Structure 1
Amino acid sequence: MRVAIYSGNIPSTTFIENLIKNISSSGIKVLLFGKKFREVKYNENVEILDTPDSGLELLFFIIKESVKSIFRNPAKYLKTLRKIFTGDRGFKNKLKELGMMLPIINNQPDIFHIQWGKTLQKNPYLFELLSCRFALSLRGAHINYSPLNDNALAESYRKYFPVIDGFHAVSEAISAEAQKYGADSKKIKVIYSGVSDEFRNVKAEIRSDDSGMLKIISIGRYHWKKGYHYALDAMKILIKNGQEFKYTIVAQGEVPEEILFMLDDDELKSRVELKSGMPHEMLMKELSESDMLILPSVEEGIANVVLESMALGIPVISTDCGGMNEAISDGIDGFIVKVRDPELLAEKITELSNMKTDIKEKIILNARNKIKEKFSNENLKKGFVDFYASILKA
């Protein structure tokens, strides 16, 4: 079986790289198309068919791939040219699209697995130029709120969802959202993210700090849906209540003006630290040195950082958004609070910080056991092997 994992970037995000690693280790041949940003080592079942970004290198690449395509299927090559060079996207953009498309046509997989929903809008001719089966992963923002703010994207979903052969949903909640745009429930398989053994094998220890300083962390990117301003409102309440703490936000992107404005408050500014995105290994070290992770989001699929935190033994407080209640059972292996409720978030932070050690240890153990049973790489690997097999049998 040959499966293309298409995100457009090589390497891709941590969870897509984890998918590549796991399905290739099962014996499936994995093809990677797109732009390569750096060298990355995979096992022998992974083949990289990257496209140069620009310049003479791209031009020579297109000539080479065009010759292959003309010899193999001249009619398909002419159809590809007609599809890509129609419209007013600009000649350079059309060349880049041709460079992206030709290696896919010349190396067609059995299944073309699209990782991001917006690809359907950006590259609609995939469905006309390829004769393979199509799978689509339903992930977070691309399903939960992007189509609500973009009518053209929503229309592309309504047009192409009915022709997708199989959908992978990261949660039951996101599966329900996708069905609003025409995804067939019978074709959707919920496969939860897998957490690497490197996290599960770390011994959970409750951090001890004689200073009484509570270390709180949030990790993500700067976007309104991440709800950081609600978290900062909760921190103001903690200050008012006399709680000693340090709140660290590790996030990618430009800091929003709203956050900077809130941090004009001297008391809050002295207790909040903003850190830029960092390599995953450093991020996990930052997380492991914290007392708790809070996820104040308004929308999520299932946040991978929450799963990694649970695996590391760091207690989690999350808002009840998206599929987060599929990962956390409130009071059993973490805590769930209402969305947009700083008072309740502050109350839960205080409750967790004052919790007896034996109760906290039980919650940590329950969280680690849930990761092992529900969010393991073994489950992910089996889930995708079965998912791909069902698509080919349909």
Structure 2
Amino acid sequence: MASGTRQIWKQYRSVAIIYRIGIAFVLGSVLGLAIGEPATRLEPLGTLFVRLLKMIIIPIVFFTLLMGARRLSPSSIGKIGGQVILLYLVTTAVAISIGLLVGNFVNPGVGLELADTSVQTKQAPDMLEVFMNIIPTNPVGAMADGSVLPTIFFTIAFGLALALLQDEHEPGTTIHDGVQTLFELAETGAEAMFKIVWGVMEYGVIGVFALMATTFGQAGVDAILPFAKLIGAVALAVGLHIGFTYLFVLQWGLLRESPLDFLKGAKEAMITALSIRSSSGTLPVTMNDADENFGVDEEVYSFSLPLGATINMDGTAMYQGVAAIFAANLVGQTLTLGEQVTVIVTALLASVGTAGVPGSGLIMLTLVLTQLGLPLEVVGMVAGVDPILDRLRTMNNVTGDLAVTTLVAKWNDRIDRTKTVWTTTDSPTEVASDD
């Protein structure tokens, strides 16, 4: 009997967690539709999942952002690295803005209400207050209160200060070794938090089942359309960002190359990302495309692409904008301009450190919703459709990595145009490089 139970558990665990959550999403929805109001009795199981998410927010922010700051050491970046990071930040900010614009246009979540109607959002701040509140007067107090944006700001500032100290002192000195120890402790803490995240997501199978049973038990079939609109809004935002930001602005406008040639060279990485839903897993394909299809010098892509797979989260950050609108609509609220600026700032700063976290899109969403004071039940609700959304986000991320890499390589004369996709067109760049 015991061996049979272990075998069942082993088979259950062999299914990827995100698919188990997706199945729980479907089964919970079906149960809610089938039995109606009695399904809302499962709500405490969903509330427990939400409390677990709240528990991990601040530790995740602190440890992972310290790890991210370590990678931004001035001595390891240089001119090319600075250009790469700046473009990553700019394209991420544009991505979030597009997500908010599409979210406001499509308005996903309208017509669906959370079972807990007592949820209240915080008083909306104006834009000046948003920027002033980024800087905490008491960093420890901000962490204790669960204030996400001040915690992010202080952690990044502290991490960069540590990186500068390490660069200024020789190995073997007390300060250099002390900084190294702090970074190693941060890495250990982050790994420990990843284990906790794994446990929370394992329970998330039950939590999502309960949340969806409660939602559909109360709303019935009216809950189906808002989720379809959420998927459509994310797909539209990804299409706009790739088409406008990467192809029109970066490739045609700045690089002066054919967008179709870029898509031809990037298609293997884009298809792989869409298939396996992992920027890191796609990295070998992405680097091969940069080398063979685009002729980018290894000095550029060996830095930009691994870094992009870690911190360049355009698709994930864009999703935060759409999901924030979705969450606000669930409680009958309209995000003010100041609150939407908060989404941009929070997601942009969080993108430095959350890429390596399992379920990073969902974890980042908890940060954004917490900062806005919106219900974290939304995280469990969208987790069920996340396998679809994650494929689109990952493809967007990988496409952005290649678009930025090719542009920086061109700026620094690190492209060999022979036997690449660029040789298929007689572009202004090609004429200039022949001189």
TM-score by length of 1: 0.26
Larger strand proportion, structure 1 or 2? 1
TM-score by length of 2: 0.24
User: Higher relative contact order by CA 8 Å / sep ≥ 6: 1 or 2?
Assistant: 2
Larger helix proportion, structure 1 or 2? 2
